[in-house]
Amino acid sequence: MNAILISMSFSQSIWSEPVMLNFDGLYASSPRINRTGDTLYFERDAKIYYTVWQDTGWSKGKKLAANFNEAYETIISNIYISPDSRRLYFSMWRGDYWGWDLVFSERTEDGWNNPVPLDTNVNTDGHEWNCCLSADMQQLYFCSLRWMGKGYMDLFVSNWQDTCWGPAQLLPFGPDSINWGSDEDGVCLSKDGKELLFSAFREHGWGCDIYKSVKDSTGRWGKIEKLPFCKMQDSTDWLGNTGAELFPSLTVDSNTLYFNREHPVSKVLFIWVTKKISETINPDINSTAPKCYELYQNFPNPFNTETIIKYDVSATSRIKISVFDLNGREIVKLVDKHHSPGTYQVIWYGIDRKGRKLSSGVYSYVLSSNKITLSKKFTIIK
């Protein structure tokens, strides 16, 4: 399957309807999933808690056993677990007005050590707030309010330099870039280091949304896009995020996303989860534009977990691709966006808009635009 992806880049990803995790009925902030996907860390009452995946779901939240986590004067927020699960990073209140620093606690045979502040290339007199590491733990991405005159939280990156973190570098700044005239908060990185997810107050009041930027072949972060979730109702299309969504955390395969969302009634933060339905692969920039629209047979077919649908677009147009059952009922929409001429592929992970695996059987997929409608059939096996 890797050969199919050569010289191509991912574009739009579609995510299932988010589901609230209600493992003990209490609020939970800044979720972070560990590398194996079986432990979810979060903040509650300014302390570190965690929940463990069991056969029937997530366990009740349990307070992390650590001396610093018991101290009354210790105020903690924004948890992050390192890729090797040996360090917990978090923001700790320093005690003054501009008082949040990034610290880490190392796990030993005797438990979690007392937290150690990161060096002054990271921590300043301002707020340092929320962070994540690259898979090789050589890059630290973090939020910082270090330019007091501007008054916004921005995203920075620091590279490890033998014994300490190097000077912080501001990530791209501009109206379509990662940083702009608002708070950028809550950050996570895909395992391959090519997708950066973060929350930002870009569009309206308290309406914090989750955005994504993809690194191109030159290593530059691209134009941001709001992460599209399926609508929270029985509908066949989707909107961008609504309300306040923040603190994204990806699983190691980048196919499951945990995040915070306000409860629609209480306005309290709870943890929600969504699964990746599909992702579109952009055409090779050097490829020749197709002469006509074409929808190809998916591969593999039959399939169990995922399949690839290839299609040609000969003119600039809005393309929709949906999956239907044999009764003509739309199961899920895989693509809905404007396309330039080119040959595209969409990877579908075999789930519906609610994140559920489809049962075995024969289905159809339909490509439609204002100019043409094409369809083919496929089979799911278990």
Same domain, 249 and 298: no
Which residue range forms the structural domain that includes residue 101?
Answer: 12-276
Cβ(275)–Cβ(302) under 8 Å?
Answer: no
CATH code, 219:
2.120.10.30
Same domain, 227 and 335: no
Does this model's pTM top 0.75? My answer is yes
Domain boundary among 244, 276, 308: 276
Number of structural domains, the chain? 2
Query: Tell me, what's the pLDDT at 52?
Result: 96
Query: Tell me, what's the pLDDT at 10?
Result: 52
Same domain, 154 and 182: yes
Residue 3 in domain: no
Domain boundary among 276, 302, 327: 276
Long-range CB contacts (< 8 A, 24+ apart) of 73-76? 74/46, 74/47, 75/46, 76/43, 76/46, 76/47, 76/48
Q: What is the DSSP string of 74-142?
A: --EEEEEE-TTSSEEEEEEE-SSTT-EEEEEEEEETTEEPPPEE--TTT--SSEEEEEEE-TTS-EEEE
Question: Distance between CA 341 and CA 158 in Å, rounded?
Answer: 39
Query: Tell me, what's the pLDDT at 45?
Result: 93
Residue 5 in domain: no
The one-letter code for the residue type at 309 is I
Query: Tell me, what's the pLDDT at 207?
Result: 67
Same domain, 334 and 256: no
Average pLDDT per consecutive 10 residues, the chain (382 residues; last block may be shorter): 38 86 88 95 96 92 95 90 96 80 95 94 89 96 75 89 93 86 87 92 70 88 82 38 79 94 78 93 75 95 95 93 95 92 94 93 95 94 88
Domain boundary among 259, 276, 293: 276
Task: Write down the residue that tokens 């921590």 correspond to.
Answer: 123
Same domain, 270 and 293: no
Query: Tell me, what's the pLDDT at 209?
Result: 86
Same domain, 243 and 357: no
CATH code, 330:
2.60.40.1930
Is 207 buried (19+), middle (13-18) or exposed (0-12) by CB count in 10 A? Answer: middle
